[in-house]
């Protein structure tokens, strides 16, 4: 462990991307506060890296857990250099099929959880005048898919916040990267999938196949989470990290297709769009 070893704070370290990233970061020589709802799942890793790693209990939907875990990280290592908002799960079903309670549960973890952790870590990063926030979105945070609309909505929300945050904190030396994986071989399509209790027959043709497809893909997804972890480390080590990082050829192709279709539609309807201003009003791009 060198003096310039970074301190990572990772949510959802028990399985999948979070687990792969925790292991890769430790092999890389950095320090990790690996958080999980059941930190005992990280025992073997903690025994392997007793100095560089600390396991902390954290359910991202529990505000007290969030504050306690951040305090534990600062107590252990004195700083946080990289925050990875990774904890999440997928809710499947047509928009009308997913219950209101299930929609809110999905947002509580994937969006409000990540938002709470981010806002609670920001004072530390601002004080340091440095840091990098990696928000694990999805290709579904850029393009939405039938039967995954609620999941995608949480990731769109995360991307909206991340884009604004990047602009707000860049002058303070803090970087933000949105990670958009395609299909990776993690536990996400297994028992963690949230499925509606009641299905509506009318959606059987349009969205019914997706659930079967997701379940059939379990364990066969093309993406390797260990390679994704290496890509994320590369981004954190980069002098010019991207705002968005797509992971997997499936993500690259899907995002490129969406960009093309948005461009074509924008151009086709451009005059109708432009003609809505008051006569003589000056209009330019919003934000910057
Ligand atoms: N795999 C993919 O194809 C894919 C594609 C795009 C995006 N993603 C995103 O990648 C992230 C990680 O998912 P994964 O694919 O690695 O799936 P995973 O293997 O199921 O891992 C999900 C992790 O999130 C944790 N988690 C769930 N709810 C939590 C909560 N309330 N508080 C704290 N931790 C919680 C789980 O902990 P427990 O062990 O306690 O359940 C687990 O560690 C998610 O945000 C997901 O949306 C995955």
For residue 112, being part of any structural domain is answered with: yes
Atom of ligand 1 nearest to the CA of 61: 31
Q: CB count, 10 Å around CB of 3?
A: 4
For residue 1, being part of any structural domain is answered with: no
Rounded-to-integer distance, Cα 192 and Cα 276, Å? 46
For residue 17, being part of any structural domain is answered with: yes
88 CA from centroid of ligand 1 (Å): 4
Q: CB count, 10 Å around CB of 171?
A: 8
pLDDT at 240: 97
What is each CA distance from 23 to 82, 84, 215, in whole angstroms? 15, 14, 27
For residue 196, being part of any structural domain is answered with: yes
CA 222 to chain centre: 19
pLDDT at 4: 85
Q: How many domains does the chain have?
A: 1
CA 175 to chain centre: 15
For residue 287, being part of any structural domain is answered with: no
pLDDT at 224: 98
Below-50 pLDDT ranges, the chain: none
Structure token pair of residue 86 = 């990774």
Q: Catalogue the active-site residues.
A: 137, 151, 155
CATH number at residue 251: 3.40.50.720
For residue 61, being part of any structural domain is answered with: yes
What count of Cα atoms within 13 Å lies in the side-chain half-sphere of residue 192?
Answer: 16
| Full residue range of the structural domain in which residue 40 is found | 7-274
166 CA from centroid of ligand 1 (Å): 23
CB 11 within 8 A of CB 61: no
CB 111 within 8 A of CB 89: no
pLDDT at 208: 82
For residue 89, being part of any structural domain is answered with: yes
Closest C-alpha among 193, 184, 178 to residue 106 = 193
CA 164 to chain centre: 15
Could you tell me how many helices (H) and strands (E) the chain has, helices first? 10, 7
CB 32 within 8 A of CB 25: yes
pLDDT at 2: 63
CB 118 within 8 A of CB 165: yes
Ligand 1 shell residues, CB under 6 Å: 11-12, 14-18, 36-38, 58-61, 86-89, 109, 113, 136, 138, 181, 183-184, 186-188, 192, 221
Structure token pair of residue 224 = 């390797």
DSSP 110: I
For residue 2, being part of any structural domain is answered with: no
Q: What is the pTM of this model?
A: 0.97
Rounded-to-integer distance, Cα 9 and Cα 115, Å? 14
Rounded-to-integer distance, Cα 222 and Cα 204, Å? 27
pLDDT at 215: 85
């Amino acid at each position: 462990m060198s003096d310039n070893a970074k301190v990572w704070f990772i949510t959802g370290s028990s399985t999948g991307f979070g687990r792969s990233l925790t292991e890769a970061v430790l092999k890389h020589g950095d320090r990790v506060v690996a958080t999980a709802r059941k930190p005992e799942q990280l025992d073997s890793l903690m025994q392997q890296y007793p100095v560089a790693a600390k396991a902390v209990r954290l359910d991202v939907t529990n505000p007290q857990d969030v504050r306690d875990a951040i305090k534990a990280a600062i107590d252990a290592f004195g700083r946080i250099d990289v925050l990875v908002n990774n904890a999440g799960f997928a809710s499947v079903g047509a928009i009308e099929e997913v219950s209101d309670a299930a929609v809110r549960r999905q947002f509580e973890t994937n969006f409000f959880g990540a938002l709470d952790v981010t806002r609670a870590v920001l004072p530390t990063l601002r004080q340091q005048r440095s840091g990098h926030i990696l928000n694990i979105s999805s290709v579904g945070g850029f393009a939405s898919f039938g039967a995954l609309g609620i999941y995608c909505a949480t990731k769109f929300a995360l991307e909206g916040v991340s884009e604004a945050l990047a602009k707000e904190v860049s002058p303070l030396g803090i970087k933000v990267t949105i990670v958009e994986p395609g299909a990776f071989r993690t536990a996400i399509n297994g028992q963690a999938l949230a499925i509606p209790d009641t299905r509506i027959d009318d959606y059987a043709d349009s969205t019914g196949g997706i659930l079967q497809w997701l379940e059939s893909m379990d364990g066969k997804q093309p993406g390797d989470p260990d390679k994704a972890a290496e890509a994320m480390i590369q981004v954190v080590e980069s002098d010019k990290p991207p705002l968005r990082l797509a992971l997997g050829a499936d993500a690259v192709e899907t995002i490129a297709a969406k960009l093309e279709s948005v461009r074509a539609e924008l151009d086709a309807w451009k005059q109708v769009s432009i003609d809505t201003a008051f006569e003589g009003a000056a209009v330019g791009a919003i934000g910057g």
